[in-house]
Amino acid sequence: MRKTYFLIVIIVVLSMISTACNSEIFQIANQEIDIENQEEIVEVGRNKDTNLILSVTRFKTLNPLLNNNRSLVQVHKLIYESLVSFDEEMKVVPQLAQKWEVSEDGRTIDFTIRQNVYWHDGKEFSIDDIIFTFDVIKKAYKDRKTHSPYEDIADLILSKVDDNTVRFYFERPIGTALDLLVFPILPSHLFLEGNLDKLYSNDFPLVGTGRYKIKEYLRMRQLTLIKNDRYWGKQASIEKIEVVVVPDLNAQISLLDSGEINFVQVVDTDWRRYYDHDSLRVYEFITNNLEFIGFNFKNETLNNLKVRKAIAYAIDRHRLVSNIYLGHATIVDVPVNPNSWLYYEGEYLFSHNIENAKILLDEAGYRINKDKMIRENADGEELIFRLITNEGNSMREKTAYFIKEMLEEIGIKLEIEILEWEEFNEAVEISDFDIVLAGWHLSKIHDLSFAFHSTEIGNTNIINYQNEELDVKLESVTNSIGREEFSENSKLVQRYISDNLLYYCLFFEHQAIVMDRRVEGLVNPQFHNIFYEIEEWYFDVD
C-alpha cells in the first residue's frame, strides 16, 4: 500500500526539490528539536563591524537543485538567481529574464535574457546555462515516484532561438507555467567537459549571478559571502555576510542569545522576548504553513454541510490564535496565502457564533439530550467524533483540546487521540478518523488539485471528497491560458471550497527574522525569501 507520510505536517524539513525551485506541495517532519550534539562551532566575533552574521544547520549538499536544507535554501537566494522570481504578492517578476512573451495558445513562452550579466568567476551568463540547468532538473526528477511540481515540465521542450532568447514549449497550456520556471540557474561552464560529477560532490562550486558571492568556504564550518561588485542590478550596501554551520535550530538561537550571530529565522512563536532587546529587532511575516481541520467524507454525519458549518462557527479562531499561538497567525477561510495575488478576499464566512452553530445542529436534526448534555438525532445517535492529530507538536495538541472545549458548548463530544508519527500517518492513509487536525506546507506553485481532486483519493485527497463540478474547476485552473484567466479560475475554486467547507482552514502560521537593530531600510522578509530586497538594507552606525 502506498505510503503518504509526506502528507500532513507542520514543517521542519524542506522537500527534496530545489531551493528557489518550487518545493514539494507538503513536507513531512514534525518533531520538536533537542540538541543532542553541541559540536565545536566556528567562532565569529560579536557585532562584527557592519557584517551580517547568521547560521545554517548542517546540510548534505551545496547544490541548490538538490539541497533539502531549509536554512541553506535561504542563503542560496543571495548567491543564485532564476529566470523569473516571486515578489511579495507571489507574482512572477523578471530576474535573469528581462521580459517574456506567451503565445496565444499558452503553450510557448519566449524569454529574452538580460545582457551584461556575469557569473561570479567573470564568465558571461548565456542561454546555454539555462538549457544546461533545465537538463539537470529533468534528469534528477523525471523518474521520481512521488508527486512533484516538475511533473508538468519533465516533458517540455527547451530550445535556443538566438543568443538572447530561449523558448519553452509545453504540450498543453499550464496555468502555473511561469511559476514552474522559478529555479536557480547553474553555470554550465563549470560542469561540462567531464566535470558533471561536481554536481553531486563535496566540491560543488558555489558560483552564481546573485548579489553576493563566496569569498571562502570552510567545509561544514563556515561560509563567507561578500558583495558582488559586478552585479547587474542595484548593489547591496551590506559588504559581508558570514554564515556559520551549526548542529540544529536550537544552536542558532543559542548563538543569537550569546551575541555570536546577529541574524536568525525563528520558526516557533517564542520571539516576543526580543521585542525590547537592546541590540536586536523582530520582523514578522506570514509563512505558507496552513493549519486546518479535515473532515472525513466517509462519515455520513460529517457529509452534512450544516454539521460542518456548526463546527466551524463553534470554534473561536481569534481566541485560539491569541491564547495558543500568541497572535502569530493569520486567520483564513481558504487554503491560499493571504499575501498572494490569487487570494480570494470574499466574505469572511465563519466568525465565532455559538448561536448560529446551535441553530444549524437543530436544523440538521440533532437536539440536546439534557441528561447527557450531548446532541443526538431521532434515532438516538449521538454527535461524537474521533479527532486525531500527531504527537511531538505541543501547539497542535493544545489546539485539539481547545477545539474539544469549544464543541462541548454546542453539544458535540470529541474523542481526541494523539498518535505517534507513524501511527498517525497510517490512520490518515486508511481514513481511520472522523476529523483530523494537521497542516500543510503549501507549495509556491498554486495548484490545489492534490487536496481536492477525486483522482487523488487514496493518496493526497485525505478527506475522500469527490465532486465532478470541483474536478472541472480544478482542471480549469491547471489549464488556464494567461494570468487573468488563471486568477479568475482560482477564485472560483476557492469560493467552492469555502462555500462547501471541505476543510475548515484555521490560519497561516507566522515566523520572524530577528536581526541586528542597527540594520535599517526596507526590511520585508517573505516566506520564499527572508532576504527579500536585501539591497535596501544598510547598517546605521551613527
**Tens-place pLDDT, residues 424-440:** 999 999 999 999 999 99
Pairwise CA distance, residues 201 & 394, whole Å: 39
- What's at 279, amino acid-wise? S
The helix (H) or strand (E) run that includes residue 100 is strand 97-102
Phi and psi at residue 244, in whole multiples of 5°?
A: -100, 140
30 and 7 in contact (C-beta within 8 Å)? no
Q: How far is CA 298 from the centre of its chain?
A: 29
240-263 pLDDT, tens digit per residue, is: 999 999 998 889 999 999 999 999
Q: How far is CA 79 from the centre of its chain?
A: 21
Which of 287, 251, 279 has its CA nearest to residue 55?
Answer: 251
Pairwise CA distance, residues 419 & 433, whole Å: 12
How is the chain split among helix, strand and coil, in percent rounded to 5?
25, 25, 50
Identify the DSSP state of 250: H
- What's at 172, amino acid-wise? R
- How is 110-124 classified by DSSP, letter by letter? EEEEPSS-B-TTSPB
Cα 201 to Cα 188, 197, 205, 376, 488: the distances in Å are: 16, 6, 9, 64, 45
Task: Please give the mean pLDDT across all residues of the chain.
Answer: 88
Q: What pLDDT sits at residue 171?
A: 87
Q: Which residue has the cell 535574457?
A: 113
Which of 127, 216, 217 has its CA nearest to residue 168?
Answer: 127
Q: What pLDDT sits at residue 347?
A: 64
397 and 262 in contact (C-beta within 8 Å)? no
Planar angle of CA 442, 448, 449, nearest 5 degrees? 130
Pairwise CA distance, residues 240 & 263, whole Å: 13
User: Is the confidence at residue 120, as pLDDT, over 80?
Assistant: yes
The grid cell for 487 is 486568477
SS3 292: strand
Which of 523, 497, 178, 456 has its CA nearest to residue 341?
Answer: 178
pTM of the model as a whole? 0.87
Identify the DSSP state of 236: P
* Cα Rg, the chain, nearest whole Å: 25
Strand partners, 226: 213, 240
Pairwise CA distance, residues 102 & 153, whole Å: 16
Pairwise CA distance, residues 402 & 133, whole Å: 48
Which domains are seen in the chain, by residue range?
288-510 (3.10.105.10)
189-201: b or e for each residue (b if 16 or more CB lie within 10 Å)? bbbeeeeeeebee
Pairwise CA distance, residues 199 & 189, whole Å: 12
In sequence order, what are the residues at sequence separation of 6 or more whose Cβ sits closer than 8 angstroms to the Cβ of residue 152? Answer: 170, 174, 176, 177, 180
User: Is the confidence at residue 44, as pLDDT, over 50?
Assistant: no
Q: What pLDDT sits at residue 375?
A: 96
Pairwise CA distance, residues 112 & 231, whole Å: 18
Q: What pLDDT sits at residue 144?
A: 57
User: Is the confidence at residue 481, as pLDDT, over 70?
Assistant: yes
Q: What pLDDT sits at residue 140?
A: 74
Mean pLDDT of all residues in 259-284: 90
Q: Which residue has the cell 507513524?
A: 422
Pairwise CA distance, residues 495 & 343, whole Å: 10
95-113: b or e for each residue (b if 16 or more CB lie within 10 Å)? bbbeebebeeebbbbbbbb
Q: Which residue has the cell 485560539?
A: 320
Percent of the chain topping pLDDT 90 = 76
Mean pLDDT of all residues in 46-71: 86
SS3 246: strand
Q: How far is CA 139 from the centre of its chain?
A: 24
Mean pLDDT of all residues in 49-59: 91
Q: What pLDDT sits at residue 183?
A: 92
User: Is the confidence at residue 15, as pLDDT, over 80?
Assistant: no
- What's at 179, amino acid-wise? D
